[in-house]
Amino acid sequence: MSAVARESVIALLVRRWRKPAAWATAADIFVILIAVSLPWSTTLVGIFAAASIVSMAPFLDVRAFLQSLKRPICALPLALVALAVVGTLWSDAPWATRLYAIGPPAKLLMLPLLFNHFQRSARGVQVFIAFLVSCVLLLAMSWIVVFDPRLALKPAADYGVPVKNYIDQSQEFALCAVALAYPIVILLRTGRLMEAVSLGAIALSFVVNMAFVIVSRTALVTMPIMLAVFALLHLKWRSIVIVFCTTTVLAGLAWAASPHLRSTSTKFLREYKIYKELNQPTSVGLRLEFWKKSLWFFAEAPIIGHGTGSTRGLFEQAATGPNVLASGQVISNPHNQTLNVAIQWGVAGIVILYAMWLAHLLLFRGDGLVAWIGLLVVVQNIFSSLFNSHLFDFNEGWMYVLGVGIAGGMVLKTGSREATLGPRNSVKS
């Protein structure tokens, strides 16, 4: 390439990247890459998230963005992060621990940026499709690893889990399976049978994998709740009865056909007995132990908590006996989102957390696929956070940020357009 041609290409690129549309496209691409990489990698998610922020910044309407921060859907996540920062001042943990503990809630800072960006972007649905496709590929890889565990992408992988862990994988599969219920019903109502069957086959594939390969007990509890929310919002009573009966029959067949599903379900009582009688650190027993001690910690500092990063130190002080016993276990995460917040920031943190969840639920009270996805993400996070600190966990926390941020921006865009058109034109459209 000649020097003149090279200079022309460079000049073209410079002109192109001075345009806001080019930066907006770059931001869309990076967010899509976050969605694609989330089921597979933590490092790539961090890289693409940083790149998306950089690409959103140059042509950000600062004044409008600052105005948007007054909305509860933006202000409350920011308040929770701010409380985590301020909470370092009264914590007794080492400063390195305090600063590290700011990281889990810090991802919520992306929410206002995503709201702002996807009020203008037309590629929100593409992000959701990218996440679905990535999860379908993970589903295929899961079955491959079942037959040849050596192909797992991490050493000492769980059965049927090629990357990360079975809890993250179950949350992703459950979200995709239930989210597909809405377009399936819409396609059936409009007579598009083949498309409905195709999406139904994908949703069923996720469910079959969870039934016969591996599933977390959190997903077993939360998935029926998510399905119940869908039925109550989008089906008539006769359809609800039919779906309930069909689901009950299918669940019974899966129970009878899947030893893994029976084993996962019956572990609850067995693990509880082992914990109560022998003080052994079973999964159920540890959660009960963590929750009991967490309530004590909360009672000691109910208003503003013990400070950011204080959890592990409190469990170290409360440990009794050797660490091979349940009562001697030390943890930085009590496996419950409310208790995680309560220990560190007391009632102040709990109020902000629940107000944020409520604000995001109300954001998606409308109809349509996008509102359904946003609502489903919030509902899943609320109920799965009864058994884990899923808002602060990496995978589930980013699922929340992406789902709420993108769907919320799209809902806000629709609301703004209807407000501009006025009620009469909105009805016509």
pLDDT score of 240:
66
Rounded CA-CA distance 223/216 in Å is 11
Residue 396 has a pLDDT of 93
pLDDT number for residue 427? 35
Q: Model pTM greater than 0.75?
A: yes
Q: What is the pLDDT of residue 2?
A: 59
* Residue 114 banded pLDDT, cuts 50, 70, 90: very high
Residue 68 contacts residue 112 (beta carbons within 8 Å): yes
Q: What is the pLDDT of residues 82-102, one digit of tens each?
A: 999 999 999 999 999 999 999
- pLDDT for the residue numbered 425: 39
pLDDT band of 322, cuts 50, 70, 90 = low
Q: For 137-192, write each residue's pLDDT tens digit.
A: 999 999 998 888 887 777 777 788 888 888 899 999 999 999 998 999 889 888 88
For the chain, what are the domain ranges?
1-59, 70-120+294-321+328-429, 124-259
- Burial string for 39-52 (b: 16+ CB within 10 Å, else e) reads bbeeeebeebbebb
Name residue, tokens 């058109």: 421
Cα(320)–Cα(328) distance, rounded to whole angstroms? Answer: 5
Beta-carbon contacts of 307 under 8 Å, excluding residues fewer than 6 positions away, are 87, 88, 89, 90, 91, 92, 93, 98, 344, 345
Mean pLDDT over all residues of the chain?
83
Looking at residue 128, what DSSP letter applies? H
Contact in structure between 173 and 206 (CB atoms under 8 Å): yes
